[in-house]
Amino acid sequence: MRSPRSRFEFACRVAAFALLGWLLGTSVFPSTGRRVERATEATVAARLAAWTRTAPNVALHGDFATTPETWAIDWLAALGHGGHAVSWSGSPPAVAMSAEALSDPSGGTRIDVAAPAGARVLLRDDASVIDSVHVARFGASVLGPVVVGPIVATTSGQRFSVAPPDSVHTRSIVVIGAAGWEGKFIVSALEERGWPVSARFSVAPNVDVAQGGAALSLDTSRVAAVIAIDTTIARYGDAIARFVHSGGGLVLAGPAGLTASVMPLAPGALGARLRPAVQPKDTIGLGSTGFYPVSALRNDGVVLERRSSGIAVAARRVGAGRVIEIGYDDSWRWRMAGAAGSERAHREWWSRVVGSVAYVGEAAASGAALRDESAPLARLVDRLGPARAVADAGGGSSWITTRLLMTLIMLLLLAEWASRRLRGLR
């Protein structure tokens, strides 16, 4: 029968070999508990090389106040595919940006920014600062006449960028209506801006005056948009519908939206014309002219301008094209009798209206597509998954645990050896 001392020695030996076996087992078959390595957006880039050499049973976690650079996110995603548990937490700002070339003979770029409400965003390109904008509830837009290289935005330490868009090929604009002041000055405004214009003005029943070619061919390869200034558009109803569904733009000005053949395309139904109050000459502007209010807006219609007396401008998508309905039918008064600079304002306003619906084409539109750098938080979630908190899990064979267990094994073996020596055994 063993003595108490021999049982103590046997227990020390068994415990020492059991711990040694446990260490060997965890090195071959890692336990589910993981040691967690952490980094912030400022240190993750420097830690990636070391993390790549780390054992797969080590979890990698980022605490991000802003999103890391794109290459760092891709590296983390690659480590996740290589067997590491990769996660992240924090609250990087949800931002996005797009850049679209303006459909305008003068060129230019519209930059649309989405950021948390109240954020201030600084925009710049390779040449200089473009602008700084205060983001309202629905984002912000900036018009830049010239963009040099990628557009970079910064807000609250978060950086995001987008490539400059391709240039837009300017196609012809067709103006259709009865001969009068409105049609005359719309054509003048667009031509002064640099738009190629074809016009069809009715001067008598079945008698038209043509400008820019004898035949009216509505084809998106040559025509970007059609402007209808009155109900004369009725005779072209079927051709207009095909043109819009194939991607062309349509502007329904004044009473043109009352035409039965184009009503299915319009953003809404027009009400009775509201006559303007008498205004002094120097105060006449677009808002002081009369207009046909959009009294019944369609479900997919979007209000672009609203007056106290009703909706003045609305828009909608129809097929691949866009339609904008403008209640104003005497904008020429703004040009002829307005204050100083009204002629330029009238010209620029009509160019913006036409540019907002003009057919651009697939080649130009593809250059304005969002890139990965333009929505960094979306890319982070796409590559690494949603944010989640990760706590250090116990039971892992970290270097601290390994040292403690090795020390305990040595103590157990030393205790057995000392007990055997005291009994006179080797």
What pLDDT, in 10s, does the model give residues 343-392?
A: 888 888 899 899 889 988 764 444 444 455 889 999 999 999 998 877 55
Mean pLDDT of 183-201: 89
pLDDT the model gives residue 34: 61
Return the amino acid letter for 309.
S
pLDDT the model gives residue 322: 93
Mean pLDDT of 27-37: 64
H helices of 255-388, in order, are 332-337, 342-357, 362-366, 376-384
Mean pLDDT of 255-270: 89
Burial of residue 387, with CB atoms counted within 10 A of its CB: 0-12 exposed, 13-18 middle, 19 or more buried = middle
Instruction: Give bridge partners of residue 206 from the DSSP assignment.
Output: none
Is residue 75's pLDDT more than 90?
A: yes
Residues 223, 173: contact at Cβ < 8 Å?
yes
Residues above pLDDT 90, as percent of the chain: 22
Is residue 286's pLDDT more than 80?
A: no
> 44-52 and 70-81 helices cross at what angle (nearest 10)?
30
Residues 319, 245: contact at Cβ < 8 Å?
yes
Mean pLDDT of 43-71: 89
pLDDT confidence bin for 397, thresholds 50/70/90: very low
Residues 282, 339: contact at Cβ < 8 Å?
yes
Mean pLDDT of 91-115: 87
174 vs 415, higher pLDDT: 174
pLDDT the model gives residue 146: 82
pLDDT the model gives residue 363: 47
Residues 363, 166: contact at Cβ < 8 Å?
yes
Mean pLDDT of 125-137: 86
Give the integer Cα–Cα distance in Å for 310 and 62: 52
CA 364 to chain CA centroid, Å, is 17
| Cα three-residue angle 172-315-253, rounded to 5 degrees | 60
Topology adopted by domain 96-166+368-373: Immunoglobulin-like (2.60.40)
pLDDT confidence bin for 245, thresholds 50/70/90: very high
Is residue 45's pLDDT more than 70?
A: yes
Mean pLDDT of 124-142: 86
pLDDT confidence bin for 2, thresholds 50/70/90: low
Give the integer Cα–Cα distance in Å for 114 and 94: 8
Give the integer Cα–Cα distance in Å for 358 and 40: 46
Is residue 327's pLDDT more than 50?
A: yes
Between 2-11, 88-97, 241-250, 274-283, the lowest mean confidence (pLDDT) is in 274-283
> Phi first, then psi: what are they for 164, rounded to 5°?
-65, 140
Residues 327, 270: contact at Cβ < 8 Å?
yes
422 vs 118, higher pLDDT: 118
Q: Any residues with CB less than 8 A from the CB of 347 and at least 6 apart, and which?
A: 189, 190, 192, 193, 335
Mean pLDDT of 27-44: 74
Question: Token digits for 59?
Answer: 């979890």
Question: Domain-by-domain residue ranges, the chain?
Answer: 4-92+379-422, 96-166+368-373, 172-359
pLDDT confidence bin for 227, thresholds 50/70/90: very high
393 vs 40, higher pLDDT: 40
- Quote the CATH superfamily of domain 172-359: Class I glutamine amidotransferase (GATase) domain (3.40.50.880)
What's the chain's average pLDDT? 82
Q: Please report, for the chain, how many H helices and E strands are present, in that order.
A: 10, 20
33 vs 7, higher pLDDT: 7
pLDDT confidence bin for 1, thresholds 50/70/90: low
Render the burial of 226-263: b for 16+ CB within 10 Å, e for the rest: bbbbbbbbebbbebbbebbeebbbbbbbbbbbbbebbe
18 vs 67, higher pLDDT: 67
pLDDT confidence bin for 102, thresholds 50/70/90: confident
pTM for the structure as a whole: 0.66
pLDDT confidence bin for 325, thresholds 50/70/90: very high
CA dihedral 4, 7, 13, 17 (to 10 degrees): -140
Instruction: Give bridge partners of residue 174 from the DSSP assignment.
Output: 198, 226
